[in-house]
Structure 1
Amino acid sequence: MTDITLLDGGMGQELIRRAGGVATPLWATQSLLDAPESVTAVHTDYADAGATVATTNTYALHRDRLRGGDSNHYAAEGTALPNMEDQLGALITTALDAVEPVRNRCRVAGSIGPIGASYRADLMPDHDEAVAIYAEVAKLLAPRVDLLLFETLPSIAAGRAALAAGRQTNRPVWLCFTVDDRDGHRLRSGEPVAEAATIAQEADAVLINCSAPEAIPAALEALATSNRPLGAYANGFTEITEAFIKGNTTAKALTARSDLSAQAYADHAMGWLDHGATILGGCCEVGPAHIAELANRLRAKGHSLV
């Protein structure tokens, strides 16, 4: 049959679920400071579930995310943040140390999240500045990861900047775009996903992430002209609405779907194979049980997990 790369699932929401806390902009980052062993435990559970790629807990590690006070856009939402900008390198090192115990079982993907906030194309700086922001993190990750995973890219401009930054390292670059939950043909910016296929031709793989599973098939079809390896890992939120994107972008404002069991998620993901996907996994609210069910389904169909 087919060789399938099986990514892990979400990190931040899984950490919240285990700790019984409330989502904050820097929840996953705070875990690196307070309990890095909890991050290792999540990595281990995903590897035990069958994931062949472990994604570093570095999604929110950009200087603009770590900068406290009024300079961070979350301040406008009334969320007080400490200034941890000077800890960027140390936090990345801690995240890399946390994933090390599963390196003998998984390739390691260095997660690089969006600039500003998830889904917010309007927070992208100009190209040169964006490339510099992405490249700083990419270069810190590259020596200890197998590939760079630029996640939740909301726009064409974000994709271009991520690709340019990734190419400043010697690691494969995977571009992961996020699409409208109701129309998988459109990026969060409103731009056609088909335009992202042109950029993706220069990447090593192109994926859709942090979008509703129902939107994935249309997005994969739009990316097919890139002729690059395709993949998808959806989230389990009820919906990322336009009102949410324009307003409060903290995950505490989102709720998990009640209809996305491990079995239901695997039903969606197995269908993505018919649209050309060879890289599968999960995003927010998709946990180890979902990945285990997906791994079992793939093996039962004769696919090899690589």
Structure 2
Amino acid sequence: MLDRDQPLLLDGGLATQLEAQGCDIGNALWSASLLQSNPDAIVAAHHAYLSAGAECLATASYQASREGFAKCGMSSAEADALMLLSVALAKRARSEAGSGAVIAASLGPYGAILHDGSEYVGNYGVSSELLHSFHKTRLELFDNAGTDVLALETIPSFQEAEVLRDLLQDCKTPSWVSFSCRDEKHISDGTLLSDAARLFEGHPSVVAVGINCTPPQYALRLIRELREALPDKHALVYPNSGEVYNVNDNSWLGTVTPGDCAAAASDWLAAGAKIIGGCCRMGPLHIAAMALMISESPQQ
């Protein structure tokens, strides 16, 4: 997956593109709700990112779990079938496009199923045993689903990272772990990113450690922290747009243009990032700008 000179370009926010296509994902399952109601929309969103130049597709499974689907009245078997469908849809888009894109199983943190923003705080108030059980079920399913990488995303706490470190020891599929961060040094629960990253030093299946769904103004310093703390793993970064939601008029404040994004991404690569892309509110135009920047840059 990373045996190459060029960086790997990820896609952007899947939910962002689905909303742009007119899909209603304002529910606890988020984009995963469309696995049952509108799978073709997911394929179309994947195509949008492939057309923009993305070399990696994240499956529509970030917020998917047996627990989450159970709240919608589905059995464990039905939940597993829908989660596996997320992989099939990404592979379908890749095949239709004649692409060699990497398929990443998108696996959000425990906080994602709470649907209360907990993945940006991390203090769940639950035991490590509960976190172990939650992640073990999904990891076992996706480890045998034929994806290229398991993407453990938006991890907000040291406790959850410790659980994942242990569980990933048993996975045969390569993985990456990315943290949500609250500033230029700390993940969401207040732990130093350097300390959280070192949990994966020498880990046999983790190929990259990084940050995602973090304001882009923090990204450059965080990459430097990662490279210093964990030089034996690739660094990845796919921040959100940095826009702030105004609840008073239901609008987003601040903008990040595709050009701004490409310029920032060039700095990320210069700082040592190997995998780059976008998260929430970063769409195909942002990814296309990154792709152009990479194509016009000397080999990293």
Which category describes the TM-score, using the shorter chain as reference length?
Answer: 0.7 to 0.9
CA distance in 2, matches of 1:6, 1:185: 24
Name the SS for the 1:148 alignment partner. Answer: strand
Q: Distance in 2 between matches of 1:120 and 1:37?
A: 33
Partner of 2:234: 229
Residues 144-173 of structure 1: CA deviation (Å, up to 9, x unaligned):
101110000001111121222222220112
C-alpha distance in 1 between matches for 2:286 and 2:253? 13
- The one-letter code sitting in structure 2 at the alignment partner of 1:24 is N
* Cα shift at 1:255: 5.2
Range moving further from structure 2, 253-262 or 112-121: 253-262
SS at the partner of 1:230?
A: strand
Question: 2:298 corresponds to which letter in structure 1?
Answer: G
Q: Counterpart of 1:222 in structure 2: which amino acid?
A: E
Change (3 A) 1:125 1:204: farther
- On the 8 A contact 2:11/2:49 being kept in 1, the answer is yes
Instruction: Call closer, same or farther: CA 1:217–1:129 in 2, change over 3 Å.
Output: same
Task: Give 1:129 deviation, angstroms.
Answer: 2.5
Deviations 1:153-209 (A, max 9, x none): 0011111212222222201120000101xx220111011111112113123110100
Tell me: CA distance 1:274–1:128, structure 2 relative to 1, closer, same or farther (3 Å). Answer: same
Report if aligned partners of 1:46, 1:288 keep a CA contact under 8 Å in 2. yes
Work out the CA distance in 2 between the residues paired with 1:293 and 1:138: 33
> What secondary structure is seen at the aligned counterpart in 1 of 2:236?
strand
Whether the 8 Å contact between 1:64 and 1:116 is mirrored in structure 2 is no
The range that moved more, 216-225 or 170-179, is 216-225
Q: 1:130 to 1:297 in 2, by over 3 A?
A: same
1:47-93 CA distance string (max 9 Å, x none)? 1211111111100012333342xxxxxxxxxxxxx333533201112
Corresponding position of 2:115: none
Is 2:33 aligned against 1:30? yes
**Equivalent residue for 1:57, pick from 54, 57, 60:** 60
Other-structure match for 1:154: 156
Q: By how many angstroms is 1:254 displaced?
A: 8.0
1:239 Cα deviation (Å)? 4.2
**Other structure's SS at 1:131 match:** helix
Per the alignment, residue 292 of structure 2 pairs with 296
Counterpart for residue 196 of structure 1: 196
- Taking structure 2 as the reference length, the TM-score comes to 0.86
CA contact under 8 A between 2:154 and 2:179: conserved in structure 1?
A: yes
Q: Distance in 1 between matches of 2:190 and 2:88?
A: 38
2:91 corresponds to which letter in structure 1? E
Moved more, 35-44 or 124-133: 124-133
Once the two structures are superposed, the pairs formed by residues 116-265 of structure 1 within 5 Å of their partners are 116-117=111-112, 118-123=119-124, 125-143=126-144, 144-180=146-182, 183-201=183-201, 202=203, 203-224=206-227, 225-227=229-231, 228-239=233-244, 256-265=252-261
Aligned to 1:89, which of 80, 84, 88? Answer: 80
> Normalised by the size of structure 1, how large is the TM-score?
0.84
1:199-254, CA deviations, whole angstroms, 9 ceiling, x for partnerless residues? 131231101000000011121122122111001001124249xxx9xxxxxx9x98
Displacement after TM superposition at 1:17 (Å) = 2.3
Which runs of no fewer than 5 residues in structure 2 stay unpaired?
113-118
CA distance in structure 1 between the partners assigned to 2:261 and 2:253 by the alignment = 11
